[in-house]
């Protein structure tokens, strides 16, 4: 028997993490949907639908919370790029930020490659610097939601003051880790300016992003707070953040399945009546996720139009976003 025949499985590629998580997320989504539909059918569908129709007046408040979330994220994103020496405080940069929403359905956060590509093609900064800024913005956003989850979780279990202390301790620990990591990467192509990591601006950016995540949880609270007794803003912020970060961490496109499933479990924990589950989750995801995809495509088209206009004026060195350089 030959060596190749003895080891036929050695070259068999391992399944990626997203491929392993996809069936689990799909099953979770199907279960939550089934429970919600069953609850709606067993309950009073007309009364549930009428309840949501009569609450249309809260829609502007929910939209305001979601817009506040996006505005805080955008401000933090622009600030990070600015600190990396990329021109960012302009309308074209805001469009580049929104254009990233066109890639929300791409797996493994690949949609985040759209904004730095747009910034580089606008001539606001070198591609490598824009990519470093994007990676740093993503890392700071992850640190922000992680810190907020720690604050809310400890506050829920041990009180508000201990939650605040735990949040500060986590931010300081993350800063120390970032400084250590930047020291290791210093002198390589992946190096991040240590001055930025040490700066107060980095901490302010994290606080701004935490405020955005708090607004994200507030939108959920406005939608469901009167559906069951004892629902607090603290609870909705905690569960909304956990569902969002675990959904994103699944590597699935847009966290679809994982986020909805985790939201369904969270709403069940908060004792939301089953007949309202499907409508509440669908409405929340529509406003916080799905509606931003067409907005992202519109921003991407406008970005490409601006790049073409600049290319026509300045010469052939600029290209539409996603085009071959």
Quote the CA–CA distance of 217 and 237 in Å, as a whole number.
Answer: 4
pLDDT at 39: 53
pLDDT of 5 reads 44
Please state, in angstroms and rounded to a whole number, the distance separating the CA atoms of residues 182 and 102. 31
Q: How far apart are CA 279 and CA 275, in angstroms?
A: 8
pLDDT of residue 77: 95
**Cβ proximity of 155 and 148 under 8 Å:** no
pLDDT for the residue numbered 10 = 45
pLDDT at 163: 84
Q: Is residue 61 in some structural domain?
A: yes
Residue 280 in any domain: the answer is yes
Residue with tokens 């800063």: 175
In this predicted structure, what is the pLDDT of residue 319?
53
**Alpha-carbon torsion, ordered 64, 301, 110, 132, to 10 deg:** -90
Per DSSP, the residues of 250-269 read: TTSGGGTTHHHHHHHHHHHH
Residue 18 lies in a domain: no
**DSSP of 61-81, one letter per residue?**
HHHHHHHHHHHHHHHHHHHHH
Please give the pLDDT value at position 211: 94
Say if 232 falls within a structural domain. yes
Domain membership of residue 124 (yes or no) is: yes
Residue 246 has a CB neighbour count (10 Å cut-off) of 15
Report yes or no on 166 lying in a domain: yes
* Residue-range definition of the domain harbouring residue 132: 43-310
Angle at CA 128, nearest 5°, toward 88 and 172? 70
Mean pLDDT for back-to-back runs of 10 residues, the chain (325 residues)? 44 49 57 55 63 78 94 95 92 93 80 90 90 91 91 87 86 79 68 74 91 94 86 90 82 77 85 82 90 94 87 61 51
Domain count for the chain, please give it.
1
The reported pLDDT for the residue numbered 293 is: 93
Q: Could you tell me if residue 267 is inside a domain?
A: yes
37 lies in some domain:
no
């Amino acid at each position: 028997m030959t060596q190749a025949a003895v080891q036929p499985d050695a070259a068999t590629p391992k399944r990626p993490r997203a491929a392993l998580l996809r069936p689990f997320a799909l099953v979770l989504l199907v279960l939550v949907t089934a429970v919600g539909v069953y609850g709606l059918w067993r309950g009073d569908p007309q009364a549930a639908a009428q309840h949501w129709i009569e609450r249309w007046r809260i829609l502007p408040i929910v939209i305001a919370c979601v817009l506040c979330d996006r505005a805080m994220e955008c401000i933090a994103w622009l600030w990070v790029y600015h600190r990396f020496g990329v021109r960012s405080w302009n309308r074209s940069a805001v469009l580049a930020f929104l254009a990233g929403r066109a890639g929300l359905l791409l797996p493994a956060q690949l949609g985040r490659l759209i904004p730095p590509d747009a910034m580089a093609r606008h001539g606001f900064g070198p591609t490598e610097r824009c990519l470093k800024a994007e990676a740093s913005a993503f890392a700071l956003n992850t640190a922000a939601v992680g810190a907020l989850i720690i604050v809310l979780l400890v506050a829920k279990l041990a009180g508000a003051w201990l939650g605040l202390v735990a949040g500060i301790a986590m931010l300081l620990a993350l800063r120390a880790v970032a400084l250590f990591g930047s020291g290791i990467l210093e002198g390589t192509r992946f190096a991040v300016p240590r001055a930025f990591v040490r700066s107060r601006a980095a901490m302010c950016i994290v606080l701004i992003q935490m405020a955005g995540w708090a607004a994200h949880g507030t939108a959920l609270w406005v939608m469901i707070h009167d559906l069951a007794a004892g629902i607090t803003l603290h609870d909705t912020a905690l569960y909304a953040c956990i569902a969002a970060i675990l959904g994103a961490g699944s590597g699935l496109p847009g966290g679809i399945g994982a986020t909805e499933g985790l939201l369904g479990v969270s709403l069940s924990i908060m004792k939301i009546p089953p007949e309202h589950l499907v409508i509440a989750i669908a409405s929340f995801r529509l406003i916080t996720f799905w509606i931003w995809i067409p907005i992202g495509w519109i921003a991407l088209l406008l970005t490409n139009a601006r790049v073409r206009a600049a290319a026509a004026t300045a010469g052939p060195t600029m290209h539409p976003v996603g085009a071959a350089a």
